[in-house]
Amino acid sequence: MTKKHQVIISTSPAAGILWDVRCSFQSLIALLLVALVGGAVYLTAQSGHLLADDRTSSSTSNSTPPPPPSASTNDLPPSKCNLFSGKWVYDNHSYPLYKEKQCTFMSDQLACEKFGRKDLTYQNWRWQPHHCDLPRFNATALLERLRNKRLVFVGDSLNRGQWVSMVCLVETSMPSSSPKSMISNGSLTTFKATDYNASIEFYWAPLLVESNSDNPVNHRLPDRIVRAHAIEKHARHWTDAHILVFNSYLWWKQPKMNTLWGSFGNSDGIYKDVEMLRSYEMALKTWADWLEIHINRTKTQLFFISMSPTHQRAEEWGESAGENCYSETEMIGKDEYQGNGSNPEMMRKVEASINDLKSRGLTVRLINITQLSEYRKEGHPSIYRKQWELLTQRQISKPSAYADCIHWCLPGVPDVWNQLLYAYIFNSSSHNTF
């Protein structure tokens, strides 16, 4: 038996070679399996570290509190989700997104806590769309997007309030050592984050086109005049902006507009009272024509903020006639509530202008803040703001007589407007509709 065994081994070289090959092959397979298992374990461990690092980075890059567990922090909402249809959810864990006192550039017109408001629950409401979540506002991500760029808000004091909100959202999240500045030059005011060379600006143009109300300080004139066909005086200040956010609504709210054909100071000018909607339509056409000619479609994102509702008539939500938002501490609970402070016909004119621009190959996104803001009758400054003029005895005896039911307290409703704007800015394709 030993001899046969030896013969087999010694007289069959091919079989010996085959045995060696089999052994080598099996060894190779074993080595590969070991390598694959080891690699999987290593990658899993590394993945865990990366995820942990990402969470750590995400939580430290923005000083705002973390969102509630149900909210998505990173993913943008589905492409067909209507961000503007939803409900307000009370959330005193993750809201407000910043503290009033933390914002270096807070406006005294909007600093309700500073001027004596005690009920601060208006700061703790989160907008929840019905079928998705708003992306969490990440100031660092926005500043990176704005590196070497300009974000410019153009419009009236409501748009200025949204600009202040945006500045507060960004500035309160920046390290205290990070240099920043605020510079005013006529109608243009610029917040600059120096490390990013990023600008967040506001340009005062309450009627978009030229008017006799264009002075950013002295603009309260009894006889409002608009040059519905002239916009270049304003537009040259935002020609090279990378993101433009427009609004224009409340300054048009009168039956007729004194409209000028010609220029101010020119005796040959023609003045005519024009029905307000028609004058508004002419101004929007001037605005749209300028955008079509001057905007770089590959460089600039365009947005229009819908009308901001007012709460000046308490009878509209079931309270006493002659009262307004003064002393209100709760929002309106009726679904789809709409007050008379909004003018849907004006927004239809805006939509028509935007659709016309789309047919000309230019996309402007309408950020619909109207319905979600309609519910928030308690979100206005009311009497809790700096009074720029001495109060009369009548006003002192009846505080509702001087309550501001037009603008909004900060932190508050305009922060949500900016969350909506943020979601659109970071939409990967400017041609997808949320």
Structure tokens, 355: 């659709």
Report cis status (omega within 30 of 0) of the bond before 411: yes
Active-site residue flag, 49: no
Residue 398 CB coordination number (10 Å)? 13
Contact 190, 243 (CB under 8 A): no
Contacts of residue 270, Cβ cutoff 8 Å, sequence gap at least 6: 260, 261, 262
Number of Cβ within a 10 Å radius of residue 307: 23
Residue whose token pair is 């929840």: 128
**219 belongs to the catalytic site:** no
The answer to whether 74 and 109 are in contact (CB under 8 A) is no
- Which of 234, 242, 380, 407 is an active site residue? 407
Residue 431 appears among annotated catalytic residues = no
Give the CA distances from residue 22 to residues 10, 28, 53, in Å, rounded to whole numbers and listed in that order. Answer: 18, 10, 46
Neighbours of 289 (CB within 10 A): 16
In 3-state terms, what secondary structure has residue 236? coil
Omega into 96 within 30° of 0, i.e. cis? yes
Active-site residue among 133, 156, 214, 404?
404
Q: What angle do CA 355, 157, 168 make, to 5 degrees?
A: 100
**Among 107, 133, 156, 157, the one annotated catalytic:** 157
Q: Which residues are catalytic?
A: 157, 404, 407
